[in-house]
Amino acid sequence: AETWHNVPLAPPDSIFKLTAAFKADTYPQKVNLGVGAYRDDDNKPWVLPVVKKASQILLNDRSLDHEYLPITGLPEFVSSAARLILGENSPAIAENRVVSVQTISGTGANHLAALFLSRYYQFNGDKVVYLSDPTWEFSQGYWIPTLRPCSESLCHLQQCWHQPAFVPLLRPKTIGLDFAGFVAKLESAPERSVFLLHACAHNPTGVDPTKEQWETIADVILARKHYAFFDTAYQGFASGDLDRDAAAVRYFVSRGVPLLVCQSFAKNAGLYGERVGALHLVSPNKETADRVRSQLSVLQRSEISNPPSYGARVVALILNNPELFEEWKADIRTMAGRIIKMREELYRLLTEKLKTPGNWDHIINQIGMFRRVDRFDFGFKKTQSKVLTDDAHVYLTVNGRISMAGLNSKNIRYFAEALDRVVR
Ligand code: PMP
């Protein structure tokens, strides 16, 4: 038979398919709310001014070369990235028990972490990782290589994982957190289970636990000896404040919850294509950290050999230079602020201007950043999202999730009116 006759055709990636359909549409007022990246008020990608500055510094630096980075990445990048998420005065860092590895952005961090856990984490029975329902749709992708046994020559997985289990996250009525359901799952899962948690600005819901709820979650995780697998792709983007968006992770570390953090600089530094990220694993002591680091290095070596340097250099410059760091914080506030303003304006248009039927409080209750999106309403049907696309040329994913970053002062009125027509 023909070589590769056994390869089935995979469906196209849903977001990229949406983008292609949007591009092909010639309607002048078309709106793309599927996009997973920040856009400015002119609907253009935004290169952060601080990133432009840092790039210029790199360009003028005659001492730089194109040599390989160490396997675990650019040292000044990984150390400052760890301080950014765990805190400037983190005792765990001071005690040398944090293992930090530079990765291919957040996706690579998640993948490397999944690989490491699948090999070394001591599960109590089935190897199950608990994801939220709904979760960022690609989360499941990280686990794909772990879903079936692989031969040692192809990858390092020796054991297979079962399908991820799901934890309820949203209460349909209020589109708020299903806290009771979440805690019940933490309590009923076998001891030493792994729970994937979004550190802030949950994607795709925009719904985060409150401070008190995080405290309860930490209590139960400790009592049940679970493992917290944090994904943080939006530090700074959620509230506009880097420290506030890291609060849950820092609190968990202070409580001694066993955890790791997958960190991405795609959104908060606008470095999507440069693939800048890190995996930080907080271990009980330095001796454990050294062993974990050695094995993460082995895995990293076989996966990507060593990480790319350019984006890491840009971020390291910004994080280690007080002036650039302040400028970055201002740029982050610009992005987060615009998103928050769009939420407020959409809410105002629907509730005051158009008097659209239904409760729209969740638009402003969900925490304000861009890519985590809103389910308008659980009554918002697939067909309505299709009508928005077919009749109004508004592109969004079929679950009714929209990216606030696709809204701007020029199209928000048009969008609100289209939405109003659809739900009436
Ligand atoms: N985690 C979450 C929750 C995300 O939303 C994203 C990107 N949308 C990522 C991780 C990883 O993205 P990247 O690989 O571009 O850093």
Among residues 231, 245, 331, 374, the one annotated as catalytic is 231
Give Dmax (Cα) for the chain: 65
Q: How far is the CA of 139 from the centre of ligand 1 (A)?
A: 9
Instruction: Determine the pLDDT at residue 175.
Output: 54
Instruction: Determine the pLDDT at residue 19.
Output: 86
| Lining residues, ligand 1, CB within 6 Å | 36, 105-107, 136, 198, 203, 231, 233, 264, 266, 272, 277, 371
Question: In this structure, how many other beta carbons lie within 10 angstroms of the beta carbon of residue 246?
Answer: 23
Instruction: Determine the pLDDT at residue 271.
Output: 98
- Has 328 been annotated as catalytic? no
Q: What is the pTM of this model?
A: 0.89
With a CB cutoff of 8 Å and minimum separation 6, the contacts of 284 are: 97, 258
Among residues 46, 136, 143, 214, the one annotated as catalytic is 136
Instruction: Determine the pLDDT at residue 87.
Output: 98
Among residues 53, 267, 328, 374, the one annotated as catalytic is 267
Which of the residues in the chain have pLDDT under 50? 139-140, 142, 144-166, 169-173, 368-379
Residues facing residue 45 across a β-bridge: none
Contact 198, 133 (CB under 8 A): no
Q: Average per-residue pLDDT in the chain?
A: 84
* Predicted complex ipTM: 0.97
Q: How far is CA 359 from CA 175, 339, 398, 416, in A?
A: 10, 20, 20, 14
DSSP 190: P
Contact 58, 218 (CB under 8 A): no
Nearest atom in ligand 1 to the alpha carbon of residue 135 is 3
Nearest atom in ligand 1 to the alpha carbon of residue 372 is 5
Burial of 320 per CB tally in 10 Å (0-12, 13-18, 19+): middle
HSE, CB side, 13 Å, CA atoms: give it for residue 23: 7
Q: How far is the CA of 102 from the centre of ligand 1 (A)?
A: 15
Q: How far is the CA of 107 from the centre of ligand 1 (A)?
A: 6
Under the phi-then-psi rule, with left for phi > 0, alpha for psi from -120 to 50, and beta for the rest, what region is 43? Answer: left
- Has 286 been annotated as catalytic? no
Nearest atom in ligand 1 to the alpha carbon of residue 136 is 3
Instruction: Determine the pLDDT at residue 146.
Output: 44
Instruction: Determine the pLDDT at residue 379.
Output: 44
Distance CA 109, CA 131 (A): 16
Distance CA 159, CA 142 (A): 16
Instruction: Determine the pLDDT at residue 149.
Output: 31
Give, for 388, the enclosing helix (H) or strand (E).
helix 382-392
For a substitution probing ligand 1, which of 198, 264, 272 has the most ligand atoms within 8 Å of its CB? 264
With a CB cutoff of 8 Å and minimum separation 6, the contacts of 11 are: none
Phi, psi of 210 (to 5 degrees): -75, 175
- Has 267 been annotated as catalytic? yes
Instruction: Determine the pLDDT at residue 161.
Output: 32
Pairing of strands 129-133, 194-198: parallel
Distance CA 313, CA 228 (A): 29
Residue 162 is encoded by which pair of tokens? 């079962």
